[in-house]
Amino acid sequence: MDPISGISGAADGIKKLTKAGKELEGAIGELNDFTNQPLHEQHRIRAEMARRERMKPLHLDQKAFARLVEKKNMEAEQERIKKEAIQRYGKTAYDEMRSLITQIRKEEDIEKKAFDKDAGKLAEFKLACIAAAFIVTYLLHSAGLLK
């Protein structure tokens, strides 16, 4: 073997090794990207959950303040209605209005109970229909009419 051929062969070998090294480096990079992507996603999710946990007290403050404002507005509106009722019809009118509120609440409770009872009956009816459909399907299948 002459020295030029040996050097040429060695250079080709180095080029091939360099090319294989670059391909291996690319494959390792892709593998890292592939395996790190779920890891980055999990980290992002944990960071978001931690941020929400840190914000919870503020969120609760906001909710509590909103409820307080709503309660105060409702109380102010009730006071306005009370004053107007007393001004128009006298103190006894406001007392009568309070008794009407009690009556309205009782009527609403009765209506809710009737609705709940009807909803229960409807659920029972649906269950009976499903059972009947199952029995009919079973009988038709047993008779060989359904395959």
| Banded model confidence at residue 10, pLDDT cuts 50, 70, 90 | low
Question: Residues 31-81: pLDDT tens digits?
Answer: 667 666 777 788 888 888 887 777 777 778 888 899 999 999 999 999 999
Tell me the average pLDDT across 139-146. Answer: 82
Q: Structure pTM? A: 0.43
Are 108 and 99 in contact by the 8 Å Cβ rule? The answer is no
Give the C-alpha separation, 110 to 104, whole Å: 10
pLDDT of residue 17: 63
Give the C-alpha separation, 103 to 35, whole Å: 67
Are 85 and 94 in contact by the 8 Å Cβ rule? The answer is yes
Give the C-alpha separation, 98 to 78, whole Å: 11
Give the C-alpha separation, 112 to 103, whole Å: 14
What percentage of residues in the chain have a pLDDT greater than 90? Answer: 40
Tell me the average pLDDT across 78-90. Answer: 92
